[in-house]
């Protein structure tokens, strides 16, 4: 039995999940799990009964592909909920295994979740994580971003994921419910908007949502000076070149109005003495922060509210998991023990209590 304690920071995203560990490991996995459809598929996969990430997507024709966090709000209830629960558990076990913790080591983790995820959703994460972690804390994803970069004084954080855009008002303490906002215009919504725009402009073009996602990630921009987006799509099976520059711009810009509206709401409901400081201390993170010109577009849209300054994080892929790890390393040791003892009761009321304590 090892006496070593390994700390993990996990950004559990609807599209990608990143892990940063105290052992020096940093990895990102697409948030997909694939289960072979039959014995032939399992043979093709070398006898494995599950595969993960990009490999699962690449083999989607022969596996039952599950994206358990699609939508970004931990919607694991109703139709397909059992598959989603199983996939979240399997995905977390896979991600934790990437840390290569010594056999017998105690593993503590902080997991970032969407800002306004329900108590039930966070309890689902706690239950899924209990199989592979000795103690776990669930915190707000945007708060983890701010904590990791020491933006803890009158800061507004925007964390743009695939399923949701999460905003958090940080002012030197753990955020409360009134400090957080979430809207669903994020990466997945932009993919759908781009698909609709292309279909409207070029009705004969054939494409999949994965192709659209790749186009968005390559060309995304909210600048009128963006590079031309020239792509090849089949028409009745025959490749043809299309200019989708305007379609990309229009799809990407849909994220600006709801984000500015949520920012203004967080500013307007804050202490008026500190509103100007907060407007000029906006931190933009998450995968969506890589949309070219987004920070400037948000700044321009804020002019009618008195202006603002937006800083884009330098490492969007790991800013959430880095912050979660920093929270884990700073957490007093006694808290981990207290959490482990209470969580061992496996009672829903205890899980809800822990979620409420972690998020203020």
pLDDT at residue 72, rounded to an integer: 54
pLDDT the model gives residue 349: 38
Residues whose CB is less than 8 angstroms from the CB of residue 169 and which lie 6 or more positions away in sequence, other chains included: 155, 156, 175, 179, 180, 266, 270, 278
Q: Both 328 and 295 in a single domain?
A: no
Q: What is the pLDDT of residues 198-235, one digit of tens each?
A: 999 999 999 999 999 999 999 999 999 999 999 999 99
User: Within this chain, do residues 118 and 234 fall inside the same structural domain, yes or no?
Assistant: no
Distance CA 138, CA 351 (A): 11
- Which residues make Cβ contacts (< 8 Å) with residue 198, sequence separation at least 6? 205, 207, 212, 233, 242, 244, 247
| Tens digits of residue pLDDT in 287-342 | 999 999 999 999 999 998 889 999 999 888 899 999 999 999 999 888 887 655 55
172 and 282 in a single domain? The answer is: yes
Q: Number of structural domains, the chain? A: 3
Full residue range of the structural domain in which residue 99 is found: 5-145+318-358
Domain boundary among 224, 253, 282: 253
Provide the β-strand partners of residue 8. Answer: 21, 109
Say which residue, 153 or 197, is predicted with more confidence: 197
Q: What is the pLDDT of residue 77?
A: 44
* Same domain as 96, residue 236: no
How does residue 125 score in pLDDT terms, banded at 50, 70 and 90? Answer: confident
Mean pLDDT for the chain?
87
pLDDT in tens, 19-39: 999 999 999 999 999 999 999
pLDDT on residue 79: 44
Residues 59 and 177 in one domain: no
Task: For the beta carbon of residue 81, count every other beta carbon within 10 angstroms.
Answer: 13
pTM of the model: 0.82
Same domain, 259 and 245: no
Q: Are residues 162 and 277 in the same domain?
A: yes
Say whether both 181 and 191 belong to one domain: no
When pLDDT is cut at 50, 70 and 90, the band that residue 118 belongs to is low
Q: Is the domain of 136 the same as that of 59?
A: yes
Do 127 and 267 fall within a single domain?
no
Task: Please tell me whether residues 294 and 157 are part of one structural domain.
Answer: yes
- Same domain, residue pair 196 and 333: no
Q: Can you tell me the mean pLDDT for 241-256? A: 97
Chain segment 33-90, per-residue pLDDT in tens: 999 999 999 999 999 999 999 999 999 999 999 998 876 545 444 444 788 889 999 9
Please report, for the domain that includes residue 305, its CATH number.
3.30.420.40
């Amino acid at each position: 039995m090892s006496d070593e304690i390994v700390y993990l920071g996990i950004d559990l995203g609807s599209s990608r999940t990143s892990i940063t560990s105290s052992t020096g490991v940093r990895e990102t996995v697409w948030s997909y799990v694939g289960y072979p459809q039959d014995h032939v598929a399992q043979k093709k996969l070398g006898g494995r009964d599950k595969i993960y990430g990009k490999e699962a997507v690449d083999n989607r024709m022969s596996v039952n592909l599950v994206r358990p966090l699609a939508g970004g709000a931990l919607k694991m209830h109703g139709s397909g909920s059992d598959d989603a629960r199983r996939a979240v558990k399997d995905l977390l076990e896979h991600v934790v295994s990437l840390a290569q913790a010594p056999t017998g080591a105690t593993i503590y983790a902080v997991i970032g979740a969407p800002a306004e995820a329900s108590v039930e959703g966070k309890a689902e994460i706690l239950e899924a994580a209990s199989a592979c972690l000795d103690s776990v804390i669930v915190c707000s994803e945007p708060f983890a971003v701010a904590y990791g970069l020491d933006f803890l004084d009158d800061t507004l954080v925007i964390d743009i994921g695939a399923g949701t855009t999460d905003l958090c008002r940080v002012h030197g303490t753990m955020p409360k419910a009134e400090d957080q906002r979430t809207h669903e215009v994020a990466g997945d919504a932009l993919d759908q908007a781009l698909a609709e725009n292309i279909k409207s402009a070029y009705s004969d073009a054939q494409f999949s949502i994965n192709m659209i996602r790749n186009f968005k990630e390559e060309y995304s921009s909210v600048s009128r000076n963006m590079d031309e987006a020239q792509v090849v799509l089949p028409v009745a099976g025959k490749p043809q070149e299309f200019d989708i520059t305007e379609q990309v711009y229009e799809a990407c810009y849909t994220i600006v109005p709801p984000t500015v509206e949520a920012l203004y709401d967080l500013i307007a409901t804050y202490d008026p003495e500190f509103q100007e400081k907060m407007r000029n201390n906006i931190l933009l993170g998450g995968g969506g922060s890589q949309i070219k010109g987004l920070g400037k577009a948000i700044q321009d849209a804020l002019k009618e509210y008195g202006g603002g300054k937006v800083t884009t994080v330098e490492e969007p892929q790991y800013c959430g998991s880095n912050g979660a790890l920093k929270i884990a390393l700073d957490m007093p040791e006694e808290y981990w023990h207290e959490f482990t003892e209470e969580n061992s009761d496996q009672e829903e009321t205890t899980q809800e209590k822990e979620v409420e304590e972690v998020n203020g």
